[in-house]
Structures are given as structure tokens and as C-alpha cells.
């Protein structure tokens, strides 16, 4: 599968299709023109700072033995500073953001023994790190932007808003991409330098708009490094609105080590690492950002299956906002996911090891609500079928209670 030329040609064609000639605003809207003007909202300060704390209590039952059961605690402190550099320094259309986080705590997945993880706050080592630090320059009435700096790829690529409340990592970015590269593709918790170009079309009468984006990411260093630094090329394009559809593709510029069991084990030989993905979201009821809004999502990804355990995967689910009367911040989300193990990975299973299944699958149900102006609680339950893709391994039950506290400093 020759993904690199496809990414380059697709990005050029899509960005050209969103050229300034296509950005002309639609004609006058009689209904909108007749409506009274809304009072102007107060402009935010030119520099803002916020700090958040997220703590998870994670209980795992993955078998009858004591070593297969346990409770772990993990937390993240996150400081985000954003600046409108046009108002601060007169640099028209330029913004900046710095995100520093401290992540630490127990490793619940050491008990669950999954390939995809059970909590999107879990890290392999405790440390304070610079997570993001970038500047962004906007052009053409904010319909074209160029971002340069340390960047979380999943903040804009392979991302579904409707899947975001779920805690299992597979709902953040597909496992077939998340498990690639020397140390992941510049996502939580390890990011790297990137250049991202994004173009958007005009907003239509129904609120939808087309977009296209492409990025070049310097892959983070990791344990699989054994040669020159590699880069990740990603392109994605689609439509955002009541119905959202996106198609993306990715490829590394240099071959990567092949992966075999147990877990993610680097073996002899190298291969090119590449894949594609499809994202779909659909409003089912209500309107966005209002109580009674229900939105479904579906995702599917495919990869080479030689530099990652997964040949592909899928995620499906639905999220409802304001589901409890009188509680606009109440939210419920139900999701199912499956990571399909590649034939290459299964063939590499040691002869005396337990046989591997075709997939590791998860069902998750979560509820979230703001109980005070600054505190949000989120109970969550996950049922994991065949953790680690091992056929005879007992299924795992994971229960999480997440508490999130946020403060706006200025």
C-alpha cells in the first residue's frame, strides 16, 4: 500500500479545493438579516491561564488470583497558558499556547494486561513534561492556518468529539496508529515537534463546513530507536456538521522495527509503517451544546500490521448531553471497540505461549456530571474481552472513578 504518494496528492488536491476562490462567503440570508443583533460578548483577555487536576481511582478484576486484582490511583496536573499575540504584540492573526503537565500514579494496565490500555491518564513513568508549545498563524480570514511547535496530533487528527468522554485509550486515537513509531505518533504523554497546515471552507446555512489538514511530525524518541530519526506524515479531510465524515492516511518516512508477542516486542527485520482511517459522526436528536443532544460516532482504521500488533480496529458509540433533567452538564456515553491482531503478529507468537485470539475488544459505559462549579465526577465501567489478545485469558472488569477540578487563573 503506497500511502506516502496518496497522502501528498490528497493533501494538495484538497487544499487546492479550499482555495480563496472557494472561500467566498454565501449571499445574504433574509432570516439572519432580519433578526435583531445579539449583544456583543465581552472579549477574553489577551493572555489566559488555567490549571486542571484529574485523579482516577481504577479497580481491576482480571482473574481469580490476587495478582490479577487490584486498585490503582493516577493523576495529572495540567497548566495551560494561551496568548493572542495580535493583542499582546501586534502580530496579526498569531496565537500561541504552552501546556505543561505532571502525570504520575499506579499502572492499572499492569493488572489488566491489555494491549490497548484501560485509562487514558496512565503513563509508563512519573514526570513533569512540556506537553505542547506552539505558535499558530492564521490567514485568509482565519480559513487557513499554519501551526509550528510541540504538538499533540490527536487534538485535531483521528479525533471524534462524541467519543472524547470515554476513558479507554482506543476511543482517543485508533490503536493501530497509537502503537506505532519509536514512542508513539506524538500523542499523550509524549509529543514532538510538528508543522501542521489546515484549511476550512465557508460555513454553510446548516452550520457545516469542509476542511483539509496535513502535518509532518518528528517522531518522538523511544526504546525502538536504532537509526536516523523518522518523521510521520498525516493528512485528513472531510466535512464537519450535523453529519461529519473524515478520511485520513498516515505513513512514516523510514522503515520501523517489526513487532511480535509477547506484548509489544521488537524483533529482527524492518517494514514501512502506514495506514488509513475513516471517521463518522451523526446527530440523532437535539442540537449541539444543548441539553438533549445525542450524537453517534463510528471509526475504523487499517494498518500494515507488521510494525504494530494491530491490522486495524473499530470503535462505535453514542453520547448524550444533558440527560438528567435540570442538570445541563450531565453526560452519558456508551462505546464498543475492537483491536484486530494482524496475522503477522499472531504468527510470531512463541510456540509454548498461550494461543492468540483474533482481537481484543472492550465495551465501556461512562457517566459524567459537574457537581460544583469547579468539580466534575465521572464513574466508568469497562468490560474487556480477551485482554492482550490471549484466547484463554480471563476477561477483565475495570471500574474507574474520575474526579476533575479546574481553575481559571486569569
φ, ψ of residue 277 to 5 degrees: the values are: -150, 155
Using CA atoms, how far apart are residues 327 and 367, in angstroms rounded to an integer? 13
pTM higher than 0.95, yes or no?
Answer: no
Residues 318, 294: contact at Cβ < 8 Å?
Answer: yes
pLDDT of residue 98: 98
Which uninterrupted H or E stretch holds 338? strand 331-341
pLDDT of residue 39: 56
Q: What is the pLDDT of residue 229?
A: 78
Residues in the chain with pLDDT < 50? 1-35
pLDDT value, residue 400: 98
Question: For the chain, how are helix, strand and coil distributed in percent, rounded to 5?
Answer: 15, 50, 35
Q: 194-207, pLDDT tens digit by residue?
A: 999 999 999 999 88
CB distance 219 to 232 below 8 Å = yes
Tell me how far apart the alpha carbons of residues 135 and 93 are, in angstroms, rounded to a whole number.
10
Helix (H) or strand (E) run with residue 377 in it: strand 375-385
Calpha distance 205→311 (Å, rounded): 40
Counting Cβ atoms within 10 Å, is residue 300 exposed (0-12), middle (13-18) or buried (19+)? middle
Instruction: Give the pLDDT score at 266.
Output: 80
Listed in sequence order, the DSSP H helices in 77-225 are: 85-89, 109-112, 175-178
Question: What is the dihedral sign for C-alpha 36, 39, 44, 46?
Answer: positive
3-state secondary structure at position 328: coil
Q: Which residues 6+ apart lie within 8 Å of 302 measured at CB? A: 176, 275, 276, 277, 311, 312
> What was the pLDDT predicted at 33?
40
The dihedral over CA atoms of 354, 359, 365, 370, expressed in degrees to the nearest 10, equals 100
Rg value, the chain, Cα:
22
- pLDDT per position as a tens digit, 92-110: 999 999 999 999 988 999 9
Q: What is the pLDDT of residue 75?
A: 96
Amino acid at each position: 500500500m503506497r500511502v506516502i504518494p496518496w497522502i501528498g496528492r490528497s493533501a494538495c488536491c484538497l487544499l487546492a479545493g479550499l482555495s480563496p476562490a472557494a472561500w467566498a462567503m454565501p449571499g445574504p440570508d433574509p432570516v439572519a438579516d432580519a433578526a435583531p443583533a445579539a449583544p456583543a460578548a465581552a472579549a477574553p483577555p489577551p493572555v489566559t491561564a488555567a490549571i486542571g487536576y484529574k485523579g482516577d481511582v481504577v479497580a481491576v478484576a482480571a482473574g481469580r488470583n490476587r495478582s490479577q486484582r487490584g486498585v490503582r490511583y493516577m493523576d495529572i496536573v495540567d497548566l495551560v497558558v494561551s496568548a493572542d499575540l495580535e493583542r499582546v504584540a501586534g502580530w496579526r492573526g498569531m496565537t500561541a499556547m504552552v501546556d505543561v503537565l505532571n502525570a504520575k500514579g499506579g499502572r492499572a494496565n499492569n493488572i489488566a494486561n491489555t494491549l490497548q490500555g484501560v485509562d487514558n491518564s496512565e503513563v509508563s513513568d512519573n514526570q513533569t513534561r512540556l506537553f505542547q508549545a506552539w505558535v499558530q498563524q492564521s490567514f485568509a480570514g482565519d480559513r487557513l492556518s499554519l501551526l509550528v511547535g510541540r504538538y499533540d496530533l490527536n487534538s485535531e487528527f483521528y479525533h471524534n468529539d462524541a467519543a472524547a468522554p470515554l476513558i479507554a485509550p482506543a476511543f482517543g486515537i485508533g490503536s493501530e496508529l497509537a502503537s506505532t513509531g519509536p514512542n508513539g505518533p506524538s500523542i499523550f504523554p509524549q509529543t514532538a515537534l510538528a508543522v501542521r497546515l489546515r484549511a476550512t471552507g465557508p460555513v454553510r446555512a446548516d452550520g457545516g463546513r469542509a476542511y483539509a489538514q496535513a502535518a509532518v511530525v518528528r517522531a518522538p524518541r523511544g526504546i525502538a530507536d536504532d537509526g536516523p530519526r523518522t518523521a510521520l506524515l498525516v493528512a485528513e479531510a472531510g466535512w464537519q456538521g450535523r453529519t461529519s465524515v473524515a478520511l485520513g492516511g498516515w505513513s512514516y518516512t523510514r522503515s520501523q522495527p517489526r513487532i511480535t508477542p509477547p506484548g509489544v516486542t521488537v524483533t529482527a527485520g524492518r517494514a514501512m509503517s502506514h495506514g488509513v482511517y475513516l471517521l463518522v459522526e451523526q446527530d440523532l436528536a437535539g442540537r449541539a451544546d444543548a441539553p438533549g443532544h445525542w450524537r453517534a460516532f463510528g471509526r475504523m482504521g487499517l494498518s500494515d500490521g507488521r510494525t504494530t500488533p494491530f491490522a486495524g480496529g473499530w470503535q462505535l458509540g453514542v453520547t448524550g448531553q444533558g440527560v438528567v433533567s435540570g442538570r445541563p452538564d450531565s453526560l452519558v456515553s456508551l462505546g464498543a471497540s475492537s483491536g484486530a491482531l494482524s496475522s503477522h503478529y499472531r504468527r510470531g507468537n512463541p510456540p509454548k505461549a498461550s494461543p492468540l485470539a483474533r482481537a481484543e475488544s472492550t465495551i465501556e459505559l461512562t457517566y459524567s456530571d459537574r457537581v460544583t462549579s469547579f468539580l466534575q465526577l465521572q464513574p466508568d465501567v469497562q468490560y474487556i474481552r480477551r485482554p492482550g489478545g490471549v484466547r484463554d485469558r480471563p476477561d477483565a472488569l475495570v471500574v474507574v472513578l474520575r474526579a476533575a477540578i479546574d481553575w481559571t487563573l486569569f
